[in-house]
């Protein structure tokens, strides 16, 4: 178990997407975050107190979370220096980067010397099985996207909050490092051997008979050249009753690509439904979730209304406007937009 409370490490980050792990914890588990550690070149903040390691320990922090991501998921030299200093001050370390903390000799020696613990969140569990695609009971929703970092985790967590507010049994099933830190468990799907991706999701969201929902955090995109394989395995293993399409309408180039534009929204919706039907023939799209942080309120609402008309699906920004319209459509409490008089 990772000891709380947390100090969130931002380092020298200047890319807002690069601190998504820290931001996810600050938004969805603020009660666990005592502050943020920023170097002087860092241009970003989570509006938490900027404190040092000793201050964090005095405030009750037990673990420093390396709340950063980068291409390749590597530990830069300055990050290693800061991590060692944090351990010397009395903090454990938790990281979701691909490069494991325990695999760096300097960190391993420092942890042994100081008696601190190293938590690598991207370690998949042992004993994963190959997926079968066999029918299993239960209701499952999977968030999918037109690109990476398009709001799948936020949307899934917002749906969980909204369901819980209505007294509906539901569980957030985390598949990425940030979600795992928020939920306290899950499977880091991008660290799973390809043959076992669908089986890992079958294990993460097994059959359930309590009329509740498993809300599964999506990864990647069917249209991303780097990560479409992960997305495909998720769609097959989730055996979803419903999908929610996540989209950043301001993005002109896909994440990590040089000149590849995001796919057409309608084409992406159709492709995800077609892929999901291999294991869930009756799957349906419950709504569209937008990241409208680049738009003012009037423009954001107008865009949602336009996409509702174009695709016959409820469309909202979950974090900014809530997910009630999508949830109503999912639960059948209002008619689908396409069939409204």
- Domain 6-120: which CATH class? alpha beta
Residue 44: partners with Cβ closer than 8 Å, 6 or more residues away = 10, 13, 14, 16, 19, 38
Q: Residue 307 in contact with residue 321, Cβ under 8 Å?
A: no
Residue 57 is predicted with a pLDDT of: 98
**Pair of tokens at residue 205:** 């969201």
Which superfamily does 139-339 belong to?
A: P-loop containing nucleotide triphosphate hydrolases (3.40.50.300)
Give φ, ψ of 124 to 5 degrees. -70, 155
Give φ, ψ of 7 to 5 degrees. -105, 125
CA dist 187 and 191 (Å) reads 9
In the chain, CATH 3.40.50.300 sits at 139-339
CA dist 55 and 334 (Å) reads 51
Q: What mean pLDDT comes out for the span 37-44? A: 95
Q: Residue 196 in contact with residue 238, Cβ under 8 Å?
A: no
Q: What mean pLDDT comes out for the span 66-87? A: 87
Neighbours of 225 (CB within 10 A): 11
The reported pTM is 0.89
In the chain, CATH 3.40.50.720 sits at 6-120
Q: Which is higher by pLDDT, 339 or 282? A: 282
Check pLDDT > 50 for residue 340: no
Give φ, ψ of 113 to 5 degrees. -65, -40
CA dist 131 and 232 (Å) reads 12
For residue 173, the cross-strand partners are 216
């Amino acid at each position: 178990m990772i000891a709380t409370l947390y100090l969130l490490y931002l380092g020298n980050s200047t890319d807002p997407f690069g601190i998504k792990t820290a931001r996810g914890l600050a938004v969805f588990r603020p009660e666990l975050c005592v502050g943020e550690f920023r170097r002087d070149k860092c241009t970003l903040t989570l509006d938490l107190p900027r404190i040092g390691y000793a201050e964090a320990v005095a405030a009750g922090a037990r673990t420093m979370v390396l709340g950063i991501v980068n291409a390749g998921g590597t530990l830069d030299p300055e990050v290693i220096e800061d991590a060692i200093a944090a351990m010397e001050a009395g903090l454990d370390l938790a990281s979701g980067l691909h490069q494991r903390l325990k695999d760096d000799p300097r960190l391993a020696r420092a942890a042994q010397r100081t008696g601190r613990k190293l938590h690598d969140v991207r370690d998949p569990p042992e004993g994963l099985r190959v997926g079968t695609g066999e029918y299993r009971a239960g209701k499952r929703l999977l968030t999918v996207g037109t690109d990476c970092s398009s709001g799948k985790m936020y949307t899934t967590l917002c749906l969980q909050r909204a369901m819980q507010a209505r007294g509906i049994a539901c569980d957030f099933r985390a598949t990425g490092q940030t979600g795992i830190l928020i939920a306290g468990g899950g499977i880091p799907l991008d660290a799973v051997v390809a043959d076992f991706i669908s089986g890992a999701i079958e294990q993460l969201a097994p059959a359930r008979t309590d009329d509740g929902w498993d809300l599964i955090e999506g990864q990647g995109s069917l249209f991303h050249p780097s990560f479409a394989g992960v997305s495909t395995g998720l769609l097959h293993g989730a055996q979803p009753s419903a999908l929610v399409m996540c989209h950043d309408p301001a993005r002109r180039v896909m994440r990590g690509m040089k000149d590849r534009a995001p796919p057409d929204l309608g084409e992406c919706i159709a492709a995800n439904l077609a892929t999901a039907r291999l294991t869930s023939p009756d799957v349906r799209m419950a709504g569209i979730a937008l990241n409208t942080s680049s738009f003012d309120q009037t423009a954001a609402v107008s865009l949602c209304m336009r996409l509702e008309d174009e695709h016959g699906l409820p469309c909202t920004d979950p974090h900014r406007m809530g997910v009630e319209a999508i949830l109503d459509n999912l639960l059948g409490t209002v008619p689908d937009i396409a069939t409204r008089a």
